């Protein structure tokens, strides 16, 4: 009888032990899965953020820089920078930039070449004067004398000039001019003139408005 009881007790203990092991197994198998899942959740890298798009203002600025109008403006600026400046000599050749003394020198230097255009540009349309022949003259008659001149000149220059300003718009020049050459009759000449020229500044340009010439030699 004791043997049977001991056997039953042993079987009962074995059954209890087996039951405990079966109940513990699911907990143990579940724990690693839970732990693995938690670990995977923690270590998962954050999703990359989408690239930031340009702001509307920046987009408009970029569009304006590449627009046809902007390109045309850049081309115009480049053409302006590359464009050469007008030669200073061209501006200085006009009466607006030339002083009275220089104009007197150029006037006398034009005599040997019979350059009527130079005198025409210096003399005012309402010019009055007295010629070296002692005649009253105006612009038309003065230019007619230049055109009739058939002498051949070796030299023609001013030997003396006195320039006096009477205010900012009036200048009077007294001087002596000497001319050498051969006349249309083939005879050499050596002439000396004394003259008085009155100049006025009109519209930014000097003009000879009156003149008197006296031949004292030749």
Tokens linked to 196: 């008085």
- pLDDT surpassing 90 at residue 46: no
pLDDT score of 83: 42
- pLDDT surpassing 90 at residue 121: yes
Helix (H, G, I), strand (E, B) or coil at 165: strand
Domains of the chain, residue spans:
1-35, 99-217
Q: How confident is the model at residue 170 (pLDDT cuts 50, 70, 90)?
A: very high
Rounded CA gap, 205 and 138, in Å? Answer: 20
What H or E segment, with its residue span, contains residue 211?
strand 205-217
Handedness of CA 152, 155, 160, 162 (dihedral sign): positive
Q: How confident is the model at residue 218 (pLDDT cuts 50, 70, 90)?
A: confident
- pLDDT surpassing 50 at residue 34: no
pLDDT score of 98: 87
Q: How confident is the model at residue 125 (pLDDT cuts 50, 70, 90)?
A: very high
Question: With the CA atoms of 116, 118, 121 and 123 taken in that order, what torsion angle do they form, in degrees rounded to the nearest 10?
Answer: -70
- Tell me the pLDDT of the chain averaged across its residues: 74
Please state, for a pLDDT cut of 90, what percent of the chain lies above it. Answer: 53
Predicted structure pTM score: 0.56
166 phi/psi in degrees, rounded to 5: -115, 75
Q: How confident is the model at residue 97 (pLDDT cuts 50, 70, 90)?
A: confident
- pLDDT surpassing 50 at residue 86: no
Beta strands 205-217 and 188-202 are antiparallel
- pLDDT surpassing 50 at residue 14: yes
- pLDDT surpassing 70 at residue 172: yes
Question: Is the CATH number of domain 99-217 3.90.1150.10?
Answer: no
Q: How confident is the model at residue 16 (pLDDT cuts 50, 70, 90)?
A: low
């Amino acid at each position: 009888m004791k043997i049977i009881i001991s056997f039953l007790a042993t079987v009962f203990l074995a059954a209890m032990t087996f039951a405990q092991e079966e109940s513990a197994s699911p907990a143990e198998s579940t724990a690693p899965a839970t732990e693995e899942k938690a670990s995977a959740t923690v270590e998962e890298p954050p999703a990359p953020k989408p690239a930031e798009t340009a702001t509307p203002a920046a987009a408009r600025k970029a569009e304006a820089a590449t627009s046809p109008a902007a390109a045309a403006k850049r081309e115009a600026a480049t053409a302006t920078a590359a464009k050469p400046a007008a030669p200073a000599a061209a501006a200085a050749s006009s009466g607006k930039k030339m002083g009275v003394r220089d104009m007197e020198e150029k006037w006398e230097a034009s005599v040997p070449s019979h350059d009527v255009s130079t005198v025409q540009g210096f003399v005012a349309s309402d010019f009055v004067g007295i010629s070296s022949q002692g005649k009253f003259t105006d612009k038309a008659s003065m230019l007619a004398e230049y055109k009739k001149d058939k002498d051949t000149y070796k030299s023609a220059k001013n030997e003396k000039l006195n320039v006096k300003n009477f205010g900012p718009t009036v200048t009077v020049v007294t001087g002596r001019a000497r001319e050498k050459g051969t006349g249309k009759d083939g005879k050499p000449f050596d002439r000396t003139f004394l003259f008085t020229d009155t100049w006025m500044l009109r519209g930014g340009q000097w003009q000879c408005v009156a003149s008197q010439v006296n031949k004292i030699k030749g």
